[in-house]
Amino acid sequence: MIETRQLTKRYGELTAVDGISFKLEPGRVLGFLGPNGAGKSTTMKMIAGFLAPTSGSASVCGHDVVDDAIAAKRMLGYLPEGAPSYGEMTPHRFLEFVADVRGLSGAKRTQRIDDVIERLHLNGVLEQPIETLSKGFKRRVGLAQAIVHDPQVLILDEPTDGLDPNQKHEVRALINAMAKDKTIIVSTHILEEVHAVCSRAIIIARGRVLADATPAELETRSRYHQAVSLTAANVPAAKEALSKVADVAAVEIDPQDHRITAFPKPGRQIFVAVNQALQAQGVAVSELQLESGRLDEVFRTITQGSGQEARA
Amino acid sequence: MSNIVTVFKRELSSYFATPVAYVFIVIFLLLAGTFTFYLGNFYERGQADLLPFFNFHPWLYLFLVPAVGMRLWSEERKSGTIELLLTMPITMWQAVVGKFLAAWAFIGIALVFTFPIWITVDYLGSPDNGVILASYIGSFLMAGAFLAIASCISACTRNQVIAFILTVVVCFAFLLAGFPLVLDFFSAWAPQGVVDAISGLSFLDHFASISKGVVQLRDLIYFGLTIAFWLYASAVVIDLKKAD
Ligand SMILES: Nc1ncnc2c1ncn2[C@@H]1O[C@H](COP(=O)(O)OP(=O)(O)OP(=O)(O)O)[C@@H](O)[C@H]1O
Ligand SMILES: [Mg+2]
């Protein structure tokens, strides 16, 4: 379990994290979203016990990260931003070192190390100095290091950055598999990842929480929520037909692929009505889709909106 | 304790993971030999002791110990591994001491490799082996004191070159604390008590006193306190500066 209360970090004049409070229960994966410089990494560093908060507090499984630091750190696996590791060591030696510091020993130690090597596909690079590994492999070594002691709480700062699509998929599967009994925070810039792994998303900008909801709830804030998109050979006819549907607020045509999108009036469902209207007008449609909402658009609206407020 | 051992082992093996360690040891031995045999007139003196050898140790350490110590913390900060190390369940104190001991042991290993010189004098004459042993202990303690200073200064910056240069300067001041060069600087404005205290800080005096063959408690305490002080300062500096 992770809890933060009015967590704040100042660097001189700059307030990097400004009173962030949340509580996360086991079995939940929290996605941390926000533009560059929003304060995601700084928040994670404070929860991981690396930086002391300027004010406010954070606790991991009930242990305050400042007053009871060692106990909190024991509960925790942490992948810092950029996945740093000792470059001159081999992944094997590095994992052994981490296992030792984490207090693993004997058969358990061997078994856990073998397990993470297997899960992150490190077999081929085990005896190669980490500094000579590719970026993606370095990241995987960093991930392996974070989970080698099977911690109850995981903090992963951009865990899939630099991974190839197969590995992204595997790491997401790994996070999902661990999610059942652990408390996990991941930060990411990849919005599809929020869908794939997170049960909750917090969007922050300029150190403040701007949204805190499930990914599905965030999508309902999108203009595209419940919109209907379709591709038709006869675009003008299709547009004409859609405009006549009572609950359609607007119809837009994508200038590139000429895909047509009909937006509903607030709170209305238009899928059935649109379908009927198209059939009634005899418009041939090659593809028709009900949109659930677009996170990237929600992200933009929320974070850029706040920027203007803050400046004003 | 076991955490200190784990950090110590990782750190020490990292010295030997690159050729730098071997280069360092070779340079150390070459310089020690050169100083002793050419500048110290080892043979010409016709005396069976290692005085010329040990006399040069402070000056050898002045450059070689900062070279070993400069990477202690600057590298951790530069590569970001400090974030890894300090978010593991170990205390700051364990990290500082473990890393320091590893670097100290490394210098100890280099020192041990100078044993052929001891064997040589033992073969050529009959030296006072007690004095030689005491000098080795004194030399090792002095290296520890230099290294503790290096640890603290390397915690101040992520640039190893700056760490090296600053450490040399500070170590130089400590070496010469008993000499007019340093004392005159203070005697102009500081009260006599302070000047005396500063002259008591001289590494050279304490080293010379040990290498006479008597390992006195006050010299041991002196080096012990110096190391403890600078390591404590390292921990404070790391805590203050780790964010940037
Ligand atoms: N050591 C430091 N000294 C001064 N300012 C800092 C320091 N570290 C971070 N900052 C500032 O704090 C703010 C938040 O940084 P942070 O690294 O938490 O952002 P982030 O959300 O992780 O961004 P990104 O998506 O780029 O990783 C930024 O404006 C950054 O410049
Ligand atoms: Mg970041």
**How long, in residues, is chain B?**
244
**CB of A161 closer than 8 Å to CB of A139:** yes
Give the number of C-alpha atoms closer than 13 A to the C-alpha of residue B60, restricted to the C-beta side.
26
Residues with CB under 6 A from ligand 1: A 11, 14, 16, 34, 36-42, 81; B 243-244
- State pLDDT tens for residues A178-202: 999 999 999 999 998 998 999 999 9
Q: Which of A50, A51, A109 to mutate to probe the B interface, most B CBs <10 Å?
A: A50
- State pLDDT tens for residues B85-107: 999 999 999 999 999 999 999 99
- Residue in this structure with the two tokens 């050169």, named with its chain if needed: B34
Note the CATH number of domain A2-220. Answer: 3.40.50.300
> What distance in angstroms lies between residue A212's CA and the mean position of ligand 1's atoms?
21
pLDDT at site A23: 96
User: Over 80: is that where the pLDDT of B9 sits?
Assistant: yes
Contact B83 A80 (CB under 8 A): yes
Which of A78, A80, A145 is facing B80, going by the closest CB pair?
Answer: A80
Which residue's alpha carbon is nearest to atom 6 within ligand 1? A11
SS3 A198: coil
Confidence of residue B217 (pLDDT cuts 50, 70, 90): confident
Q: Which residues from B are below 8 Å from A70, CB to CB?
A: 89-91
* Tokens standing for residue A165: 């699509």
Q: Which of A15, A45, A101 to mutate to probe the B interface, most B CBs <10 Å?
A: A101
- State pLDDT tens for residues B156-173: 998 999 999 999 999 998
- State pLDDT tens for residues A243-257: 888 899 999 998 888
> What distance in angstroms lies between residue B138's CA and the mean position of ligand 2's atoms?
48
Contact B80 A51 (CB under 8 A): no
Q: With pLDDT > 90 as the criterion, what percentage of chain B qualifies? A: 49
A67 touches chain B (CB under 8 A): no
**Ligand 1 nearest atom to the CA of residue A40, by list position:** 21
User: Over 90: is that where the pLDDT of B54 sits?
Assistant: no
Please tell me the distance from the alpha carbon of residue A19 to that of residue A37, in angstroms, as a whole number.
16
**Greatest mean pLDDT range, B76-85, B111-120, B210-219:** B76-85
- State pLDDT tens for residues A139-172: 999 999 999 999 999 999 999 998 999 999 999 9
What are the structural domain ranges in chain A? 2-220, 228-291
pLDDT at site A311: 40
Please tell me the distance from the alpha carbon of residue A161 to that of residue A159, in angstroms, as a whole number.
6
What are the angstrom distances between the C-alpha of B114 and each of B23, B35, B46, B107?
Answer: 15, 13, 20, 11
pLDDT at site B43: 66
pLDDT at site A308: 46
**Ligand 1 nearest atom to the CA of residue A207, by list position:** 14
Residue to mutate, A10, A15, A32, A40, ligand 1, most ligand atoms under 8 Å from C-beta: A40
Q: With pLDDT > 70 as the criterion, what percentage of chain B qualifies? A: 96
Which of A51, A89, A98 is facing B14, going by the closest CB pair?
Answer: A89
In angstroms, the separation between the Cα of residue A197 and the nearest Cα of chain B is 25
**CB of A63 closer than 8 Å to CB of A2:** no
A49 touches chain B (CB under 8 A): yes
Which of A51, A76, A78 is facing B243, going by the closest CB pair?
Answer: A51
pLDDT at site B175: 85
Note the CATH number of domain A228-291. Answer: 3.30.70.100
Instruction: Provide mean pLDDT across the span B3-7.
Output: 96
Which one-letter amino acid corresponds to residue B77? R
User: Over 90: is that where the pLDDT of A40 sits?
Assistant: yes
Residue of A nearest to B18 (CA): A88
A positions 148-177 inside 8 Å of B (CB): none
Confidence of residue A29 (pLDDT cuts 50, 70, 90): very high
More confident of the two residues B65 and B177? B65
Instruction: Provide mean pLDDT across the span B20-49.
Output: 79
Instruction: Provide mean pLDDT across the span B139-148.
Output: 95
Which of A76, A84, A87 is facing B83, going by the closest CB pair?
Answer: A84
User: Over 50: is that where the pLDDT of A310 sits?
Assistant: no
Contact B14 A11 (CB under 8 A): no
Q: With pLDDT > 70 as the criterion, what percentage of chain A qualifies? A: 98
- Residue in this structure with the two tokens 């730098």, named with its chain if needed: B20
More confident of the two residues B190 and A237? A237
pLDDT at site B95: 97
Q: Which residues from B are below 8 Å from A93, CB to CB?
A: 13
ipTM: 0.89
Strand order through the sheet with A183-187 = A76-79, A153-157, A183-187, A29-33, A200-205, A208-213
pLDDT at site A309: 45
> A153-157 and A183-187 as β-strands: parallel, antiparallel, unpaired?
parallel
Contact A51 B6 (CB under 8 A): no
Contacts for B242 with CB less than 8 Å, ≥ 6 apart: A50, A51, B77, B82, B83, B86
Global confidence as pTM: 0.91
Residues with CB under 5 A from ligand 2 (ion): A 40-41, 81
**Ligand 1 nearest atom to the CA of residue A189, by list position:** 25
In angstroms, the separation between the Cα of residue B78 and the nearest Cα of chain A is 10
Q: Report the mean per-residue pLDDT for chain B.
A: 88
> What distance in angstroms lies between residue A271's CA and the mean position of ligand 2's atoms?
40
Please tell me the distance from the alpha carbon of residue A111 to that of residue A120, in angstroms, as a whole number.
14
Q: Where are the beta strands (DSSP E) in A125-224?
A: 153-157, 183-187, 200-205, 208-213
Q: With the C-alpha atoms ordered B223, B225, B231, B233, is the resulting torsion angle positive or negative?
A: negative
Q: Which of B2, B75, B83, B236 to mutate to probe the A interface, most A CBs <10 Å?
A: B83
pLDDT at site B212: 81
User: Over 70: is that where the pLDDT of A70 sits?
Assistant: yes
